[in-house]
Amino acid sequence: MNMFQSIGEVFVLGWRTFLALPLAWRHRRKVFDQFFEIGNASLLMVCILSFFIGAVLVLQSGPVLVERGLANYVGGMVGITMCKELAPVMISVLIAGRIGSAMAAEIGSMQVYHEIDALRTMNINPVHYLVLPRMLALALALPMLVIFAIMVGWLGGAIVAASNLRIAIPMRPYFETMREIVEVGDVANGVFKSFCFALIVGVICCHQGMDTIGGPRGIGRSVTKAVVNSIIMIVILDYVLSRLLLE
Amino acid sequence: MNADPNHRGVKVSVRGLRKSYRGQEVLKGLGFEVQPGEVFVIMGPSGSGKSVLLRHLIGLESPDAGEIRIGDEPVSCAQTMHKYRLAMVFQSGALLNSLTVGENVGLYLAEHRTQSPEEIARVVSDKLAVVGLKGTEDRMPAELSGGMKKRVALARALVMEPQLILYDEPTSELDPLSAVVIAHEIVNLNRRIGVTSLVVTHERALAFGIAQRIAVMDAGQVLVTGTPDEIRRCGIAEVRKFLNADLNLVTKTQPS
Ligand SMILES: Nc1ncnc2c1ncn2[C@@H]1O[C@H](COP(=O)(O)OP(=O)(O)OP(=O)(O)O)[C@@H](O)[C@H]1O
Ligand SMILES: [Mg+2]
């Protein structure tokens, strides 16, 4: 019962934020502030994470493919998995943990310490003031981070492919075979998925923040719930979107 | 200034207000009326439901039963908030911790786009000077003491030029001198713009010092309403007990 109520509230919050979109220009300062905060907090992590994901992908599958004479497919395999699946999902999970948790904590503490009440008494709509800028910044930043992650991941794979003796595919053929297989649509597919994940992470974490009750322990509880629910929803939505986009 | 109809206080009336939290009744059908431009003080012991009452008045909570009218509109409809300017000074201050003092005070003006940034900066420094915190614009709320936060919260409410202002324990946590400054400002503001002021407190000195009328509350009910003199002469036992409670224990236990 409680779960369904929360899901309903999440949808309502998402809808209210959507209706507030025309006010986005007025709040552009806050959007940019949030945007840069997201970038600052996560760019290095995104870089490391995607580099090693690309690297380990080649390390695990490279020898298997090369032994069977499929060396031509190493680049394409890394290209596709990275851009359609691994970068969007892993980066979104990372962002849920890094940024979503911070959003839930910040809004949660504002709720607990009556700051949101104070906003309401000043006739400032908390959805416009707090949720809209965060959602927009996330919806803008996450797809960009994913594009960046895709490229770093490809590069990570390329370096392992070239340097590992059991694989030994130089950079040039690696990227050439990748170009034959990966299309712009595949990258767009992954970027679109990450945009959807951004919306779901943003709305879940902001809602959970505003739903916080109790003192500091309540904030802690909210943060955990926000991150766990975000990750679960990312994984479920990933399947649904992949299925739909397959057509 | 007083001729401007927007700057006149509004009337507040509460009737049969009830609210329970998880089966525990906090407000038990209380009612009172505040005239436009009046300084009305609500006194009562801790936990009697004073803060909950204020949250209802400003529309943060909706009552289980009963009616609250501000001016001639019931509070429940969103229009009230747009039609009248209502401000509240929270018990804890409730400053936005991520903003500087100056941004906190200017928030209302900045968000409602009523004035240019220079104008806002001027108003902010004016209002901070009023509460005795000149030049603290760039500090963060976390760097302030509890009493200073409360004074910033008051400045933030002043900026709204409200028609009804609700104070939740405006002088608790303040030293006697600052308390006098704040009490002065409450009365001044009331005289200057004719704002209806509703002050919640358990400090008797403040209550009798500024009130035109006082209501004494206990356990979610209003025991008595009247002018300070009427309250002093009131015969109800709970009220007498509350008013006469004495901290002077040393001289009692050590007769010399
Ligand atoms: N959100 C809530 N949920 C449950 N109980 C609440 C809630 N808010 C207030 N109460 C209860 O209502 C009662 C009155 O609280 P309130 O904060 O109004 O007291 P108060 O008169 O302002 O006291 P103080 O002078 O200490 O500030 C308390 O017993 C409190 O436990
Ligand atoms: Mg209180």
Residues lining ligand 1, Cβ inside 6 A: B 21, 26, 44, 46-52, 91, 202
* pLDDT at residue B1, rounded to an integer: 39
CB B197 within 8 A of CB B190: yes
Q: If you take atom 26 of ligand 1, which residue's CA is the nearest one?
A: B46
Place of tokens 């400090």: B203
How far apart are the CA of B201 and the centre of ligand 2, in A? Answer: 8
How far does the CA of residue B127 sit from the closest CA of chain A (Å)? 16
Residue of chain B minimizing CA distance to A123: B81
What pLDDT does B161 receive?
85
Choose the closest CB to B60 out of A106, A113, A117.
A117
Q: Model confidence over B95-105: pLDDT tens digits?
A: 999 999 999 99
Whole-number percent of chain B with pLDDT over 70: 91
**Of B18, B27, B50, B204, which is best to mutate to test ligand 1, by the most ligand atoms within 8 angstroms of its C-beta?**
B50
Give the global pTM. 0.88
Distance from CA of B241 to the nearest CA of A (A): 33
- Convert the pLDDT of each residue in A193-242 to its tens digit: 999 999 999 999 999 999 999 888 999 999 999 999 999 999 999 999 99
Nearest CA to B80 out of B97, B67, B96, B99 is that of B67
**β-pairing verdict for B73-74 and B86-89:** unpaired
Chain A residue with Cα closest to B99? A115
> Which of B139, B212, B200 lies closest to B170, judged by CA?
B200
Model confidence over B224-236: pLDDT tens digits?
888 988 888 877 8
CB proximity list for A128: less than 8 A, separation 6 or greater: A20, A23, A27
Look at ligand 1, atom 16, and give the residue with the nearest C-alpha: B49
Q: Residue A6: exposed, middle, or buried by beta-carbon count in 10 A (0-12, 13-18, 19+)? A: middle
DSSP secondary structure string for all residues of B134-193: TT-TTS-GGGS-HHHHHHHHHHHHHHT--SEEEEESTTTT--HHHHHHHHHHHHHHHHHH
Inter-CA distances, A188 with A132, A147, A195, B12, B58, Å: 25, 9, 10, 58, 49
Q: Do B108 and A110 touch (CB under 8 A)?
A: no
Q: What letter would DSSP give residue A22? A: G
Residues 98-117 of B with CB under 8 A from A: 98, 107-108, 111-113
- B183 in reach of chain A (CB within 8 A): no
pLDDT tens per residue, range B187-230: 988 888 888 999 998 888 888 888 899 998 888 888 888 898 88
The complex's ipTM works out to 0.86
